[in-house]
Amino acid sequence: MVGSPVLLIAIPLLAAFMIPLLGMIWKELVRIIPGLVLAFMMISSASMLMYVTNNGTIIQTLAGWEAPWGINLVFSPLTAFLATLMTFMGFIVWLYSYRFKRNVDFEPAKKYFIFLMMLVAGAVGIVITGDIFNQFVFIEITGISAYALTAFYTGRNSAEASFKYLLMGALSSSALLIAIAIIYSQLGTLNMADIASKIHLMPAGYKVTALIFFMMGIGIEAEIFPLNGWAPDAYTEAPGPIGAAFAGIVVKAGVYAMVRMVFTLFDVSGAMDILLTIGLITLIVAETAAIRQEKLKRMLAYSSIGQMGLVFVAFGIGTLEGVYAALFLMLNHAIIKPLLFLSGSQLVFNSKEKLIKEVNGLGKYMPFTAVLFALGSFAIVGLPPFAGFWSKLSVLTAAANEGMLLIIALILIVSVIEIVYYFRVVNRIYFFDKAEDLIPQKPRVNAVIAMSVLGAIILIIGFNPDVVSTVLHNASADLMDTPQYIKNVLSAGQSLTN
Amino acid sequence: MIYLIFVIFLGGAALTWLSGKIHPILRDVVFLASLIVPSVLFYMNVEVGQTVSFSLIGYKLSWGINYLGYLFSYIVVGLGVLAGFYAIPAMKGKKNLGFFYSNFVLSIMSMLGILFSRDLISFFIFWEIMTWSSYLMVVFQGKDVQKVGIKYFVFSAIGAYAMLMAIVIIYSLNQSMMISDLVSSFASFDPTMQWLIPILLLVGFGVKSAMMPLHVWASGSYSHAPMAYTSIFSGALSKMGIYGMVIVMVSLVPIIPEGFWLRETIAWLGAITAVGGTLWAVAQDDAKKLLAYSSVAQLGYIIVGVAVGTPLAMLAALFMAVMHGLFKGALFMVTGAVERQTGTSNFTEVTGLIRKMPWTFLAALMSIIALAGIPPLGGFVGKWMLYESLIGSSHYILVIVIFFSSTAAFLYCYKFLFGFFLGQEEKEWAHVKEAPAMMVVPMLLLAFGTFVLGAFPGLILDPINAGMQEMGFASTQGKYWEMSMLFNEWGDQIMLQPILYAIIAVFAFFAIFLTIKGFKKTRYVTTKDISSSGEVPLEHENLTFSVNFFQPFLRTVEPLMKRQIDKYYNEFGRGMEALFDFTRRVYTGNGQTYALYAVIFIVILLMFKNTLFGL
Amino acid sequence: MELTLNILGAIATIVLAFIVGMSYGGIVRKITARIHNRMGPPWYQNFIDAFKLIGKTTAINHGIMQHFGPAFVMVSSIVSLMFIPILNNGGWFTNLNFDGDLIFLIYIMVFGPLGMALGAGQTGNPNSAIGVTRGLSQMVGFEIPWVMALVALMIQFDTTSVTGLMEAQHETGRWMMFTSPFAFIAAVLAMLGMFRYSPFDIVGAPTELASGPVSENGGKYLFTMMSSGSIFAFVKLTLYVDLFMGGADNLIILVLKTFALYMVPVLYGIVSPRYRTEQSIKFFWGWPTFFGFIAILYAVFV
């Protein structure tokens, strides 16, 4: 086991403050240090994931305050899985954008890498913390980095997108605070496990109101309809790799927070159905909106929202299989959508408007990027033998086991729509004539490596999904087992005091 | 061994692509090797009934071939290898050949994989690989990709997802993905599921076998894919739909109470497909489109046979499936050869190639005779059995409909031969040469196959019989067929050998009669040298007759062709896009609106929290 | 020895069919002429024409398909002749009666027109091709009532073989034109198209198409086609007699019955002008198909 959960948060935060200073020594360090940090986080969380799989949950209390009172970090199979995924994606995004603005402009690059690191750290924090107020803080950290990154290209559109994001983020924070206040006023605790164990004491009206505010607050981060208005703009206007980071990291943290609330903290019976309904609406609205988009990244953004809807549908099924399917979907989406964002932004690199029609005929000029984009498209619409198929299959079997035939039908119909818009783009890449004035952009080595790693993972999971199934099974069992979670957290606190 | 076959296919596909970067000839060799080596391994080493099982994320998967699969493997492998040889000269000089060839190998692999699948998951996986590899072939030439290609893929996806839905339902009921478990426990499902599952599966298979109303992709896709591929696309790939349909119709539908109506519906859909396909084929001026519609029609006959499902009908359907693979494969190859040599496949442009491409003509002639079902070639055997089975099973109106369709098929058969090979020889095409031997030989082999099966249908009826026995039919040998004899339900017989000998004898006699003291003395004259009411047509006069070829007939059947289901689909698609445009407008791009949405969201949840959260 | 006898029998059948068919052709020419108030040729004129043609040197050909076209046509006539019972008790004329059935006959009878169509196609004469397209279109027309009639018979007697149907007539002792009258009506109406006398002579259409598909053929080609046509006429008539009129016990009865039947299309034709192709198809899809339908209903329910 390398490192400990707290280092996953402490090191990037520390590094973020150090980077400007180090950058004065040697400019290249601004790029290298975040990479090292992210690599460390990735290795550390992966090794802890292995440890957790074998030895059970790691609970770490901060500053010696034991569980119900202090802040603690929970590194369970679920959170370990998500943390590993996020740090890995963070590393990939870093790798892809290593030469971002190199030799051109030092100042933006510095900000970019700092915020990227903060984004990952915040997201990891959301996932591994065991305290709702602490989680709120991490949501804010993530959010602020995300606003900043959205506005990165200082232009009218980016500013507007960022402002929208900020607006929604403010709403999100207020809602979260209200919810936290309600819970604290009723239960007198902020520790998740403690809340979970005491939630039955809370009057139903307060409980549901708190849950609703949580849903709104987190729903904005998790891109559920109708709270996701900021997402298409933010994805479109942010730099390409940041779109990948949003899809692979930020949204995953939001989904986790939402699911943690519904599955562990609250015992509200109707919440699952709400989750399922909201997920379904999100899925349908987003996918149908995606088909008429003209900008590539915008289309990908809507697709990403739709996929998140599907994840919520899978969680909303509420069974172990459903959770397993949802986590599988999250994993696949975290791999495939970044690949699409990375290769897609590579495809529209030199075009001004980033329109879909500007990718026409690029297959000939950028063969590698185009193949990876096609691979991503094949995978995301769930064609075997690529990764997306297995998650789609597990969602459907989970739904079928609950007899939700209508939902299966809806998911599949939406998948057909998904096929239409993805294949239109793939067709354009390969079978249309390139616009005369467009200069294809040759991807750099680091970008190629980043993208091919993702592509390789898609193929590996596609051909042998068993490589991830154990981890997913553990994680889903972990999420479903609330008593165990409470016991782990609270008894760990006691053992420390003893 | 079974794994090895698929590993070689996959590796072959990858190697084909890579070796193309080194040298084209190496690529061709690797391509053929990756088709032939696994095929040989398959036939040498894999016995029927031999299975391998493994487990993947909790599903037990099992691969092995059964007798029915073995039968279909003849179509897939035989046609695949011949089309592979054909493809090399046919595709010469085109771009992205590595992509084409590796896709080709993947297609063959996926079809063989479907036949090997003993469980639904691997069946679906191979099915989808087949779908996207064929999709990539449809769009390969880059024509109309957004329309034809997307249409093909959308329909395939609808079919595949219907099938996937059936698969997950089956899994939820059975907790097993094995096809055999499905068959054995199907009787215990409740009636809703007993209806739903076969219908969903049939939608899936109906798309690939171009059944009305799921056929609209076929004409465009068949004609847009390179002809070297279309010959297996139409000849073998569509048979995978038939393969699935046979399983559903034989193993599941009889169990459903009142399942009779499902059978009749499918049979009638098949018949309507046959008539519609034929009429549209007659109306086409492009050979590819003509053959595409003809494929739809021929698959319609096969569907009728499968749906009627008496032993004789099933024999007929499976025999026709093999036959269709042979002659339609050959005909698409012929079209490809003509297109390669002349640059067009339009009847109104190219005429009079018979003297330039005699071997191609011979292959076309034999295949067309087989297609038309005229004795002594094999097409007749299938047609005969189909009619007899329909009459014997009291489908009297159906038999008339089928007969109408197959008589009308003569029209497009003649159009195909006349359009390409006969008629005025024009100067424009004087330079045309015969296609390379590597293209002609596969066609001739396929055409010769129709001849052999016409005389000895027992050769293929034997494996068909084995496949049917495996599915629970009694042995049909001796009852309905012998090596070269056929019987109907009432014991009336057809002796194919005397027919063949009589035909050969009479033909030979008159051929000699006409030739002796005739052919040498006669001198060949051009097609301009004809009797034209005493006037000699001048060189510049255009005497080609190819436009509005069957106009009077088409005028007669116009009412039947007025309703075109394709138009409704297009309207539907446009309507949906308009609707989606509306949902797109939900995202106004205005931050205030989004904030308003959030407020509305929370207000609604708070107002209705009691109902929504079940308090 | 048996094979030799069989071959001799076959040759005898062919010769018989040739003579009868040719004579009928001549007689029809005569009758037509008399009704048109002309003298007309003698009844043996067709024989004279045939032998003249065979004696002529064929000067030109348009290629291999046109060369073999007539052979295809002949295959169709003679092979179908082999499968049709000439007399009730078979005898010398048994040939291959038991080796095929009606559906086979329907299909082998198409072989000839297709061969002719191919031969005509290669000549490059547009009139020929137009004739062929008309012929094929018309065939789609009349095959429907014809097949409906046959299916009705098959249903009624549970057999698809010609000999089986003839036996059935013997057992009941009644001709099928009485036991299944609607099938007979449909079949006779279909026969009008099959013989291509006016108003259904759209294929040859002398004034429009200059005799259509055969127009580029002379000498031996035309002889083969002509004799094939005669044999084919005999085949069709005999088939009708076998199916609907209880067959024939000896040659004289056969000749009488076939001749009587032959007069139906001939006399209908002499007094009718020519149809257009559409009209012809619509004619067959009208009343004949209706009768065919009734025939099937009759066979199922009666």
CA distance B95 to B446: 28
Is omega for the bond preceding A77 within 30 degrees of 0, making it cis? no
Same domain, B325 and B438: yes
Q: What's the whole-number mean pLDDT along residues B390-403?
A: 87
Find the range with the poorest average confidence among A11-15, A446-450, B291-295, C217-221.
C217-221
**How many Cβ contacts (< 8 angstroms) between chains B and C?**
236
Tell me which residue of A288, A302, A462 sits closest to A375, measured CA to CA.
A462
pLDDT tens digits along A377-389: 989 988 888 888 8
Which pLDDT score, from 0 to 100, does residue A498 have? 35
* C286: pLDDT strictly greater than 70: yes
| pLDDT confidence bin for A177, thresholds 50/70/90 | very high
Contacts of B159 in chain A (CB under 8 A): none
User: Residue A393 falls within a domain, yes or no?
Assistant: yes
Phi-psi domain of C109 (left: phi exceeds 0; alpha: psi -120 through 50; beta: other): alpha
* A496: pLDDT strictly greater than 60: no
- Long-range contacts of B194-199, Cβ-Cβ distance < 8 Å, separation of 24 or more: B194/B252, B194/B255, B194/B256, B194/B257, B194/B259, B195/B256, B195/B262, B196/A405, B196/B166, B196/B169, B197/B166, B197/B169, B197/B170, B197/B252, B198/B248, B198/B252, B198/B253, B198/B256, B198/B259, B198/B262, B199/B262
Sheet with B481-482, strands from edge to edge, namely: B481-482, B485-487, B493-495
Whether B287 contacts B416, CB under 8 Å: yes
More confident: A359 or B199: B199
Contacts of A171 in chain B (CB under 8 A): 595, 598
User: Residue A401 falls within a domain, yes or no?
Assistant: yes
Same domain, B200 and B280: no
Whether C170 contacts C264, CB under 8 Å: no
User: Residue B164 falls within a domain, yes or no?
Assistant: yes
Element housing B494 (H / E):
strand B493-495
Same domain, B362 and B217: no
Residue type, A259: V
CA distance B577 to B557: 34
Contact B502 C118 (CB under 8 A): no
Write down the mean pLDDT value for chain A: 85
pLDDT tens digits along A178-206: 999 998 888 888 888 888 888 888 888 88
Neighbours of chain B (3+ CB pairs under 8 A): A, C
pLDDT tens digits along A451-464: 899 999 999 988 88
Which pLDDT score, from 0 to 100, does residue A105 have? 64
Tell me which residue of B343, B146, B115, B339 sits closest to B237, measured CA to CA.
B115
Element housing A400 (H / E):
helix A387-401
Which pLDDT score, from 0 to 100, does residue A497 have? 40
CA distance B49 to B41: 16
Domain stops at, among B222, B257, B292? B257
Whether C295 contacts C186, CB under 8 Å: yes
Contact B613 A393 (CB under 8 A): no
CA distance C115 to A201: 93
Residue type, B64: G
pLDDT tens digits along C113-160: 888 888 888 877 777 888 888 888 888 888 889 888 888 888 888 888
More confident: A13 or B535: A13
Residues 6+ apart with CB under 8 A from B163: B124, B127, B200, B201, B203, B204, B205
State the angle between helix axes of C2-35 and C45-55 in degrees (0 to 180), rounded to the nearest 10: 120
Q: What's the whole-number mean pLDDT along residues B139-159?
A: 85
Contacts of B149 in chain A (CB under 8 A): 423, 427, 431
Find the range with the poorest average confidence among A123-132, A302-311, A416-425, C121-130.
C121-130
Same domain, B364 and B245: no
B568-600 per-residue burial string, b: 16 or more CB within 10 A, e: under 16: ebeeeeeeeeeebeebbeebeeebeebbebbee
Which pLDDT score, from 0 to 100, does residue C79 have? 86
Tell me whether chains B and A touch (3+ CB pairs under 8 A). yes
B548 shares contact with chain C (CB less than 8 Å): no
Coil, strand, or helix at residue B481? strand
CA distance C116 to C213: 7
Which pLDDT score, from 0 to 100, does residue A196 have? 86
In Å, how far is C40's CA from the nearest CA of chain B? 24
Contact B552 C59 (CB under 8 A): no
Which pLDDT score, from 0 to 100, does residue A456 have? 92
User: Residue B26 falls within a domain, yes or no?
Assistant: yes
User: Residue B413 falls within a domain, yes or no?
Assistant: yes
User: Residue B476 falls within a domain, yes or no?
Assistant: yes
* C272: pLDDT strictly greater than 70: yes
CA distance B579 to B546: 44
User: Residue B287 falls within a domain, yes or no?
Assistant: yes
Which pLDDT score, from 0 to 100, does residue A67 have? 64
Q: What is the pTM of this model?
A: 0.91
Whether B271 contacts B304, CB under 8 Å: yes
User: Residue A346 falls within a domain, yes or no?
Assistant: yes
Residues 6+ apart with CB under 8 A from A288: A414, A417, B579, B580, B583, B584
pLDDT tens digits along B237-264: 888 989 998 988 888 888 888 888 888 8
Contact C65 B354 (CB under 8 A): yes
User: Residue A326 falls within a domain, yes or no?
Assistant: yes
Coil, strand, or helix at residue B580? helix
User: Residue B543 falls within a domain, yes or no?
Assistant: no
> Within a 13 Å sphere around the CA of B256, how many CA atoms are in the beta-carbon half?
21
User: Residue A436 falls within a domain, yes or no?
Assistant: yes
Find the range with the poorest average confidence among B76-85, B368-377, C70-79, C80-89.
C80-89
User: Residue A206 falls within a domain, yes or no?
Assistant: no
Write down the mean pLDDT value for chain B: 85
C218 shares contact with chain B (CB less than 8 Å): no
Contact B527 C224 (CB under 8 A): no
In Å, how far is A45's CA from the nearest CA of chain B? 24
Q: What's the whole-number mean pLDDT along residues B193-220?
A: 87
In Å, how far is B499's CA from the nearest CA of chain C? 8
Best of B190, B584, B586, B593 to substitute, by most chain A Cβ atoms within 10 angstroms, is: B584
Same domain, B557 and B567: yes
Contact C60 B410 (CB under 8 A): no
Burial class (CB in 10 A: 0-12, 13-18, 19+), B99: middle
Contacts of B609 in chain A (CB under 8 A): 208-209, 212
Any idea how long chain A is?
498
Tell me whether chains C and A touch (3+ CB pairs under 8 A). no
Alpha carbon separation from A183 to A211, A215, B67 (Å, rounded): 9, 14, 67
User: Residue B542 falls within a domain, yes or no?
Assistant: no
pLDDT tens digits along A20-59: 888 788 877 888 888 888 888 889 888 888 888 888 888 8
Residue type, C145: P
Q: What's the whole-number mean pLDDT along residues B326-348?
A: 88
* A103: pLDDT strictly greater than 60: no
Nearest to B613 among A274, A408, A423 (CB): A274
Same domain, B312 and B416: yes
Q: Both tokens of residue A241?
A: 């790799």
Element housing C220 (H / E):
helix C219-244
* B608: pLDDT strictly greater than 80: yes
pLDDT tens digits along B228-241: 888 888 888 888 98
Residues 6+ apart with CB under 8 A from A120: A12, A38, A41, A86, A87, A89, A90, A245, A249
Same domain, B354 and B393: yes
- Determine the Cα angle at B300 with ends B294 and B302, to 5°: 110
Count up the domains in chain A and report the number. 1
> Within a 13 Å sphere around the CA of C162, how many CA atoms are in the beta-carbon half?
35
Residues 6+ apart with CB under 8 A from B576: none
Domain ranges of chain C: 2-301
CA distance A335 to A312: 18
pLDDT tens digits along A278-315: 899 999 988 888 888 888 888 888 999 999 999 999 99
Same domain, B419 and B308: yes
Q: What's the whole-number mean pLDDT along residues A413-428?
A: 88
The residue segments making up the domain with residue A416 are 292-463
Cα Rg, chain C, nearest whole Å? 19
Contact C111 B375 (CB under 8 A): yes
User: Residue A477 falls within a domain, yes or no?
Assistant: no
Same domain, B296 and B189: no
Q: What's the whole-number mean pLDDT along residues B378-395?
A: 87
In Å, how far is B134's CA from the nearest CA of chain A? 13
Nearest to B499 among C57, C99, C132 (CB): C99
Best of B207, B585, B613 to substitute, by most chain A Cβ atoms within 10 angstroms, is: B613
Nearest to B552 among C57, C155, C277 (CB): C277
More confident: A418 or C95: A418
User: Residue B477 falls within a domain, yes or no?
Assistant: yes
The residue segments making up the domain with residue B192 are 1-79+90-257
User: Residue A359 falls within a domain, yes or no?
Assistant: yes
* A495: pLDDT strictly greater than 50: no
Contact B521 C58 (CB under 8 A): yes
Beta strands in chain C (DSSP E): 60-61
